[in-house]
Structure 1
Amino acid sequence: MNEPRPTVGSIARRRLLLALGFGVTNVAVLRRFGSDTGPGSGSLSDSTGPGDPAAAPESPDAGPAPATAVAEPAPSEDPPEIPVLDESAARGPDHLFDLAIVGGRVIDPASGFDFVASIGVTGSTVAAIVAGPDAAPLQAFETIDATGLVVSPGFIDILSYSPNGYGEWFKLADGVTANLGMHGLDGRADGWFAAHPDGSSPIHFGGAYDNAFVRQTYGLDPYDTAAPGTTNAIIEDARTDLRNGFVGLHMQPEYTPGTTAEDLLAHAVLAAELDVPLCVHARYSDNIAPGTNLQAIGELVQAARETGAHVHVEHINSTGGTGVMAEALGRISDAIDEGLSMTACVYPYEFWATYLKSARYQDWQEKYGISYGDLQVAGTSQRLTEQTFDAAYANNSLTAAFAMSPTDVELPLQADFVMVGSDAILDRSHNNHPRSTGCFSRVLGRYVREREVVDLPTALSKMTIQPARLLERRCPDLRRKGRLGIGADADITVFDPATVTDRSTIENPAQESTGIQWVVVEGRVALSPDGARSEALNGRGLQSDIGTA
């Protein structure tokens, strides 16, 4: 079914509402995130809204800002306590390790360990961490000199899609060791894992049941409302998929407007019963009533309150918080203070992208306060005009919309319950958002080093231990990932904090990040300064234990 043709709305009214919203946001920022007006404070006093001709949106092609020094851990004669997950995995310094990573700044966000140290790996497990002037050198079959580099748990992309044999290699170059399709996987769990066996990918993989996909199997159009009997059948399909290995539930009511509040609550009840997160692309992405970002957040808070489910708000910068970010984060923070279980994620770009015939682009000018020149067709340098829009619409082109402000990215990065997720994986058509290949390096380069929005250990926490903890209750493998301690899985990313950055653009997203020096998956080097090792297909399926518990 072709969706309604976008219409021209009142841009002036939208801009007025944004201006009023930004005024309220300033107050909320001061209340919830401190009154510091230095770098990364989230102050909006000098901000302008999307579509404002006085401040054009940041170009994804702009060169990186001058690098600033990245703080080293505070000098200390005595190293902090070595993190240990499993004492039985420990090996002494006289052991011959399979791999040693020596002399790097080792950061384990799970324990707070941050010190120059060396790591010994045996098989697929971290077996030694030695630090301090008296530490004995480690002997290994292969040694990585990490002097001047940061050694981190491998990054976990909490919001991706199915591996496709191509995009995973760009994820690897961005430091990712686990690609989790929590934005929903197209397929039923048993068939999906059969099509993606262990050893078919350089990085780990898994993900969530996709309500939009299952709705289609019942012949439902995005705008169709399911009959009660159909909803019950869909819930049982979701239960089956969780038993067969999926690690969460995904819904996207903005793209399936026929999804009712009752449908969402039914999924939340199941999520609470089986102790998995309900990950939601929220119902609204603009601030014009009826149907606003804050109403969408309210619906998700209410679902968590009524059912006890953990509700995860996907890409809050583009859906649920755009233009009212401090208020949106404040409502989630209040819900957490109330005892509800909620998290969110963000991708580090001030533009989103989707297909022009999707429900999101309906009434786009009025909803987002932008015009044709704020749209760019993916894979091209073409900014649309009123004359070229019709052809792009007829082709249903994937199109980027510059509809966010810097605050929409910076404030979520500063909130302790928000993690980083890309919301994309590159396919061979290259018709995709640059977040598919540069998400994590962009956080480290632009938002840690250059803009100092968030410090390095905090940023790494959002890429490692936080996504692991979101899913580990029903995914045992993740209890040993996102961490660097003795007994942890040896999924490790080594990067240069002075040079790490993204290179991907809307015109050409198929560009690997720079500064990611080494990536280790399952204890084996998958990426080195010489490039990816094509034979290193060490990724495994990360599955729930619901069907075996």
Structure 2
Amino acid sequence: MRRVLLRGGRVVDPGGGTDRVADVLIEDGRIAAVGLELRVDDAQEIDVAGMIVGPGFVDLHSHVNSIAGQRLQARDGVTTALELEAGLLPVELAYTKAMQEGRPINFGFSASWGMARAEVLSGRSANADFAEGLSILGDPAWQADSTPAQLTAWLGRLESEIGDGALGIGILQGYAPRTDPAEYLAVNELAARAGVPTFTHVREITEADPTTPMDGTEEAARAAMEFGGQVHHCHVNSTSRRHIDRTLGVIERARAGGAAMTVETYPYGAGSTGIGAAFLAPERLGVWGIAPSNIVIVATGERIRDAEHLRHMRKTDPGAACIVEFIDDADPTDRALLERALAFPDGIVASDAMQVNWPDGSVDTREWPLPAGGTTHPRTAGTFARSIRMMVREQRAWSWLEAFRRCSFLPARVMDQTTPAFARKGHLGLGADADIVVIDPDRITDQATYFDSTRPSIGIEHVLVAGEFVVRDEDIVTDAYPGRGLRGQLR
């Protein structure tokens, strides 16, 4: 029996609502005891006095799907990273690939609405690759309205994926923004009937495009109200920009009306996506108060010069990852918007972590430290440490208990009705999975920047997944791959 004893830390358990000094005993990957002065024979004892001990962070929105990316996330305290907004297709292949390669932290996938449509409407062949999903952004064929036969075909594809263990349906509605709202309702009806959540990148809100078929946040709220299913609104900060207060009001009213609607935020003013995204067309930028020069190519650091340069990039390499400066982190008014989004009642922290790209075209490596030249969005490496620094230490808007509610407990509760394994995550109750983060409360902060995007967070002292160290003494354990695939189960 493998035993680890974390001795004398400040144990914060959002499941039980407790915050106290205690020992934590781990046996065979589960929490076996929490109490004072536990005495255990043959346990590996770790002194964590003065440290915060809590459930590892559950990230509902991560596109890394790689060893390199997951290691950056582990250094940020993440023990479970899920690809839910975009999803992958087929999920069976996605799970198989990840298990064959090994993963330091837990993983899981939703079924990709975008790729299901692309298979039916434009003849694409899905291979469970996120880069493939980025590559379709410049293809107008999959963004068209479906005929009744096409709608039936791709809904059937998604239903089959749910049967194969998809954690829900990821809907990139904002990347096909002119499609008939009836199709969005049809997807949510399918998900509600199957008992799985949907995860939506909403289409444009009316402030951005008065001609939009429907305001994106209103559309998600309507689906939640109409079918009673779990509807998760992805990255409200980047889809709402400076209209965050209005869109949060829509979500608040939907919840008050009984909708099972959840929302996530990440603590950065700039977003990241493929440059071929519909909302990055040159004619669309002005409404957000940005210009082509607010777009930077991740792989090269090249800043887009003008509208002509942007059109060229969108045509020749629509899947190229880029950073988009929607909100100014340094501006006090804009920063206050982000803080209000993070403080929204029961709002969840999620990273929208992106793959690390190297100049030779590779997106993964087992090397650690990571080889020089890798680039990504800093949210990949720093979302959780940054959120805690901002909201716990600087703003004092969250207690430590509230921080773990938003980073660990609430995201696990989004998933546990569909996937029973999540009932053991996001808390430190007896029998819970020993996915644990140990934090230095005075040091925790992000280090990644837009210009040095793979610098790991600091102050995350230890991270355990299923009771096995993946971060020890603030460094990666390079031979640790305890991550497991989490799969949905039809009710």
| TM-score with structure 2 setting the length | 0.86
The one-letter code sitting in structure 1 at the alignment partner of 2:83 is G
Q: Which residue of 2 aligns with 1:317?
A: 237
- Contact residue 4 and residue 44 of structure 2 kept, 8 A: yes
Distance (whole Å) between structure 1 residues aligned to residue 426 and residue 12 of structure 2: 11
Alignment of 1:70-469 (within 5 A): 98-131=3-36, 135-161=37-63, 163-197=65-99, 200-220=102-122, 221-284=141-204, 287-291=207-211, 295-319=215-239, 321-362=240-281, 363-379=283-299, 383-386=303-306, 389-390=309-310, 397-404=320-327, 405-429=334-358, 430-469=374-413
- Contact residue 286 and residue 293 of structure 1 kept, 8 A: no
- Contact residue 355 and residue 399 of structure 1 kept, 8 A: yes
> 1:491, CA displacement in angstroms?
0.5
> 1:222, CA displacement in angstroms?
3.6
* Aligned-partner SS, 1:407: helix
Distance (whole Å) between structure 1 residues aligned to residue 301 and residue 213 of structure 2: 30
- Contact residue 107 and residue 484 of structure 2 kept, 8 A: yes
* Aligned-partner SS, 1:506: coil
In the superposition, relative to structure 1, how do residues 257 and 373 fare at CA in structure 2: closer, same or farther (>3 Å)? Answer: closer
- Contact residue 287 and residue 323 of structure 1 kept, 8 A: no
In the superposition, relative to structure 1, how do residues 211 and 496 fare at CA in structure 2: closer, same or farther (>3 Å)? Answer: same
Q: Which residue of 2 aligns with 1:44?
A: none
Distance (whole Å) between structure 1 residues aligned to residue 64 and residue 155 of structure 2: 22
Distance (whole Å) between structure 1 residues aligned to residue 296 and residue 225 of structure 2: 40
In the superposition, relative to structure 1, how do residues 157 and 244 fare at CA in structure 2: closer, same or farther (>3 Å)? Answer: same
Distance (whole Å) between structure 2 residues aligned to residue 163 and residue 286 of structure 1: 33
Q: If you compute each CA radius of gyration, which structure gives the higher value, 1 or 2?
A: 1
226-235 or 370-379, which deviates more: 370-379
- Contact residue 350 and residue 408 of structure 1 kept, 8 A: no
In the superposition, relative to structure 1, how do residues 243 and 376 fare at CA in structure 2: closer, same or farther (>3 Å)? Answer: same
* Aligned-partner SS, 2:417: coil
The one-letter code sitting in structure 2 at the alignment partner of 1:489 is D
- Contact residue 94 and residue 109 of structure 2 kept, 8 A: no
Distance (whole Å) between structure 2 residues aligned to residue 159 and residue 99 of structure 1: 30
Structure 2 unaligned spans of 5+: 123-140, 328-333, 359-373
In the superposition, relative to structure 1, how do residues 163 and 387 fare at CA in structure 2: closer, same or farther (>3 Å)? Answer: closer
- Contact residue 103 and residue 117 of structure 1 kept, 8 A: yes
> 1:513, CA displacement in angstroms?
1.0
* Aligned-partner SS, 2:430: coil
Structure 1 unaligned spans of 5+: 1-95
* Aligned-partner SS, 1:490: coil
Q: Which residue of 1 aligns with 2:488?
A: 544
436-445 or 356-365, which deviates more: 356-365
> 1:385, CA displacement in angstroms?
4.0
Q: 1:519 aligned to 2:463?
A: yes
In the superposition, relative to structure 1, how do residues 311 and 414 fare at CA in structure 2: closer, same or farther (>3 Å)? Answer: same
In the superposition, relative to structure 1, how do residues 493 and 140 fare at CA in structure 2: closer, same or farther (>3 Å)? Answer: farther
In the superposition, relative to structure 1, how do residues 194 and 386 fare at CA in structure 2: closer, same or farther (>3 Å)? Answer: closer
> 1:249, CA displacement in angstroms?
0.8
Q: Which residue of 2 aligns with 1:89?
A: none
- Contact residue 105 and residue 115 of structure 1 kept, 8 A: yes
Q: 1:503 aligns with which of 422, 426, 447?
A: 447
Normalized per residue, which structure has more helix? 2
In the superposition, relative to structure 1, how do residues 419 and 292 fare at CA in structure 2: closer, same or farther (>3 Å)? Answer: farther
Distance (whole Å) between structure 2 residues aligned to residue 365 and residue 236 of structure 1: 36
| TM-score with structure 1 setting the length | 0.77
In the superposition, relative to structure 1, how do residues 434 and 136 fare at CA in structure 2: closer, same or farther (>3 Å)? Answer: closer
Distance (whole Å) between structure 1 residues aligned to residue 83 and residue 242 of structure 2: 27
Q: 2:433 aligns with which of 443, 465, 489?
A: 489
* Aligned-partner SS, 1:272: helix
Q: Give CA deviations for 1:285-330 in whole Å, capped at 9, x if unaligned.
A: 57244157992111111111221121110000011x3222222112
The one-letter code sitting in structure 1 at the alignment partner of 2:63 is Y
- Contact residue 373 and residue 385 of structure 1 kept, 8 A: yes
Q: Which residue of 1 aligns with 2:415?
A: 471
Q: Give CA deviations for 1:177-221 in whole Å, capped at 9, x if unaligned.
A: 111111133321222222222781011100211100111111432
Q: Which residue of 1 aligns with 2:132?
A: none
481-490 or 386-395, which deviates more: 386-395
193-202 or 252-261, which deviates more: 193-202
Q: Give CA deviations for 1:202-249 in whole Å, capped at 9, x if unaligned.
A: 111002111001111114324321111111121111111111111111
In the superposition, relative to structure 1, how do residues 178 and 381 fare at CA in structure 2: closer, same or farther (>3 Å)? Answer: same
What percentage of aligned pairs have identical amino acids? Answer: 28
Q: Give CA deviations for 1:401-458 in whole Å, capped at 9, x if unaligned.
A: 2222223321121112310111123334334211111111111123321233433221
> 1:97, CA displacement in angstroms?
6.7
- Name the count of aligned residue pairs: 448
* Aligned-partner SS, 2:87: coil
Distance (whole Å) between structure 2 residues aligned to residue 495 and residue 152 of structure 1: 8
- Contact residue 504 and residue 510 of structure 1 kept, 8 A: yes
- Contact residue 205 and residue 215 of structure 2 kept, 8 A: no
* Aligned-partner SS, 1:464: helix
RMSD: 2.3
The one-letter code sitting in structure 2 at the alignment partner of 1:357 is G
Q: Which residue of 1 aligns with 2:369?
A: none
In the superposition, relative to structure 1, how do residues 244 and 496 fare at CA in structure 2: closer, same or farther (>3 Å)? Answer: same
> 1:375, CA displacement in angstroms?
3.3
The one-letter code sitting in structure 2 at the alignment partner of 1:252 is L
